[in-house]
Chains A and B, each alone.
Chain A
Amino acid sequence: MNLCDRRLGDLFQNQVLQEITSEDIVNSCMQRIEALEPKVGAFLSVDGDRAVARAREADRRNFGLGEYPSAVGGVPYAIKDNICVKGWATTCASKILEGYVPVYDATVVTGLDEAGAIILGKTNMDEFAFGSSTENSAFGRTRNPWDLDSVPGGSSGGSAAAVAAGMVPFALGSDTGGSIRQPAALCGVVGMKPTYGLVSRYGLVAFASSLDQIGPITRSVTDCAALLRAVAGHDPRDTTSVDAEIPDYLEGLDAGVKGRRLAYPKELMGEGLAPEVKLAVQNAIHVLEEQGADVEEISLPSLAYAVPVYYLVAPAEASSNLARFDGVRYGFRAPDTDDILSMYEETRAQGFGQEAKRRIMLGTYALSAGYYDAYYGQAQKVRAMIARELAEAFETYDALLSPTSPTTAWPIGERSDDPLAMYLSDICTIPANLAGIPAVSVPCGLAKGLPIGLQVMGPQLGEAAVLQVAFAFEQAFKFRARPPLLDGMPEDPPSTRVRSDAAKFAEFAAGIEQGVVDFTRPLREGDVSSDDGGRGRGGETGETKEADDAGDAGDTGDGG
């Protein structure tokens, strides 16, 4: 298994034990990207040089100064192109932001930077997150790694495809009506939308401010829990961010589901569900029952209105959020216009794609004088009813189960002419956004080679329970399939570090396993630069080392 396929926990341990370097992981991912990107098209931009430079910095920092990495330290990742990275073009897959370079980092980016993670590339998406297939991107197509003629789902299709194809160990996406969970389901990976407000939205280009959340896309529930902890937390720059203590989601993750009361809403298991999806989810329910959970069918009648509510509320908020794209301050401006009004109209006409225009129109109409009460106002009331019904269900049940998507991935182009058909595929995921509750999708089977996702939902701030149920299912079900695209992938490039003498590190490794190693200070005085291997520089050694390293330990670091 290549490094780019490994889980965060293994990558962490491998680095701490100095078996690999961060640069090795980056090189492994870059090789995978080179091999598969021409077929999959997950990325809008990749910056390998920047990643290698950061990896070298991570290697030096982590092992040179005795600071040990967090779960994501030294690990490269992909980030959806609607999340701002300072100095890196962020387009939201729209022509209206082509070439826009943010002057600040999103809070999640700052947090992950500090934890030592490394952005490798920005991923493709539906323009401004409007879509469920990534077909609405202005800059190209992303294909499902399980079947290149099928959609990866959306709007975080690029992020999900990148993780499914093993191009990166994890990615960040955003979810407004299912945009993390649905592509995760269609691409056979884990994707989670946290409680509204758990993860800062500062730096996320807004679609619907009361629904949006950034969340993890990973290959395992454990990784999801680790990553969620790394990005969650109060942010004074996001006034909708929750000020609650963030638990360690890894602790107690394996609590199991014995005696847990779970339920599935029959409204999400009925009409419109493909038979193979229904079978897979029913099987998943049996698996959980075998693990000791008590699963019942319940009825939540208001869920029948979730999609119409969403397609009034979300476009309304989007129409307001997209008013700023007017050619004045950033992005595309239509040339040759005589007055400000034509400049606005032409810029937006030429800069926005069809789905963006449709949603702006829909939202503007729903908010306009004479229609506000019947549309947006009424939708807000039905939203309250949906949220209340779900909250009441959680008074009895620990978590709710459903399919994530009513179907598996469909052929590219099949639904792109029928916007309403596309919207109806969000039926299972939308309720969690409307109610602001956490929800995760975990793979629960394949049908004709295409993945199916099981969704687990919980009450607000109930991430721990949601992850425990998902973990219990994942461990019992053992979904091990990988996209056939990955068959015969070449071995990793050679390591950048000189292979260490195993015996030399035996004591160190033993110490870690026995828990006697104290990670809060440098391990052994004088150990820092006595062996070049710890820096991962391979052949090029002490000569290129920064002077401060030699100063730290008083050793000469003369290139081992």
Chain B
Amino acid sequence: MGISKKDVEHVAWLARLGLSDEEKERFTVQLGSILEYAERVGEVDTSGVEPMAHATTLTNVFRDDVPTPSLERDEALGSAPEAEDGGFSVPRIV
């Protein structure tokens, strides 16, 4: 089936990944061939098969809703490229 350059641009947008023109060209080709290969999963008759998300039988492992020690705020901010007033500082959002 392949993938078009427009698809590549759309996916890059979804992934918040800035791509150069050269990368867009290259990925259109490379992703196209990888997807063409991966598409063969479509050959398999999976009627009646439940999807498998992971390899354990565990579901929803909960603990009691009791506050326990967590990361201190200053520790959490310690690696921030920019921090201000106890928060992460970023360029304008709106």
Contact = CB atoms under 8 A, between A and B. Distances in A.
A504 B6 CA distance: 80
Interface string A317-360: 00100010011111111000111111111101100100001101
A394 to B, nearest CB: 14
B50 A381 contact: yes
A352 B92 CA distance: 23
B81 A333 contact: yes
Interface in B47-75: 49-56, 58, 61, 63, 71, 75
A246 interface: no
A340 B91 contact: yes
Main secondary structure on chain B at its contact with chain A? loop
Contacts of A378: 41-42, 44, 46
A242 interface: yes
B73 to A, nearest CB: 12
Contact of A379 (B7, B12, B41, B78): B41
Main secondary structure on chain A at its contact with chain B? helix
B51 A311 contact: no
Contacts of A196: 54-56
B15 A341 contact: no
A432 to B, nearest CB: 10
A312 B40 CA distance: 11
A100 B3 CA distance: 36
A467 B3 CA distance: 45
A31 interface: no
A329 B79 contact: yes
A346 B18 CA distance: 6
B79 A331 contact: yes
B52 A308 contact: no
B85 to A, nearest CB: 15
A338 B91 contact: yes
A236 interface: yes
Instruction: Kindly name the residue among B23, B56, B76 whose own CB sees the greatest number of chain A CB atoms within 10 A.
Output: B56
Contacts of A435: 55
A434 B54 CA distance: 8
A308 B34 CA distance: 9
A333 B82 contact: yes
Tier of interface size on chain A: 35 or more
Nearest to A333: B81
A381 B16 contact: no
Nearest to A369: B14
Contacts of A357: 17, 19, 23, 27
Given A196-B54, A385-B46, A420 B34 contact: yes
Contacts of A346: 18
B39 interface: yes
Contact of B19 (A104, A311, A349): A349
Interface in A401-437: 419-420, 423, 434-437
Contacts of B55: 196-197, 210, 387, 434-437, 460
Tier of interface size on chain B: 35 or more
Instruction: Kindly name the residue among B17, B40, B88 whose own CB sees the greatest number of chain A CB atoms within 10 A.
Output: B17
A339 B90 CA distance: 8
B31 A365 contact: yes
Contact of A328 (B3, B34, B90): B90
Nearest to A364: B15
A384 interface: yes
A361 B54 contact: no
Given A197-B58, A329-B80, A368 B11 contact: yes
Contact of B49 (A100, A360, A381): A381
A319 B16 contact: no
Given A349-B17, A360-B17, A239 B79 contact: no
Interface in A96-113: 100-101, 103-104
Interface string A291-334: 00000000000100101110110000001000100111111110
A420 B37 contact: yes
B41 A360 contact: no
Contacts of B12: 361
A319 to B, nearest CB: 6
A282 interface: no
A343 B44 contact: no
Nearest to A460: B55
Given A210-B54, A330-B79, A340-B93, A308 B40 contact: yes
Contact of B88 (A323, A328, A382): A328
Given A103-B78, A328-B80, A345-B18, 11 more contacts: A104-B71, A196-B54, A328-B81, A329-B76, A339-B93, A341-B16, A344-B16, A365-B3, A375-B38, A375-B41, A380-B53
28 contacts: A104-B71, A196-B54, A209-B54, A210-B54, A240-B56, A242-B58, A308-B41, A312-B38, A319-B15, A327-B90, A333-B81, A338-B92, A339-B92, A339-B93, A342-B18, A343-B91, A349-B18, A349-B19, A360-B15, A361-B8, A378-B41, A378-B44, A381-B49, A382-B49, A419-B34, A434-B55, A436-B54, A460-B55
- 4 residue pairs, one from A and one from B, having the closest CB atoms: A436-B55, A345-B18, A380-B51, A349-B18
Interface of A: 100-101, 103-104, 196-197, 209-210, 236, 239-240, 242, 302, 305, 307-309, 311-312, 319, 323, 326-333, 337-346, 348-349, 352, 357-358, 360-362, 364-366, 368, 374-375, 377-385, 387, 419-420, 423, 434-437, 460
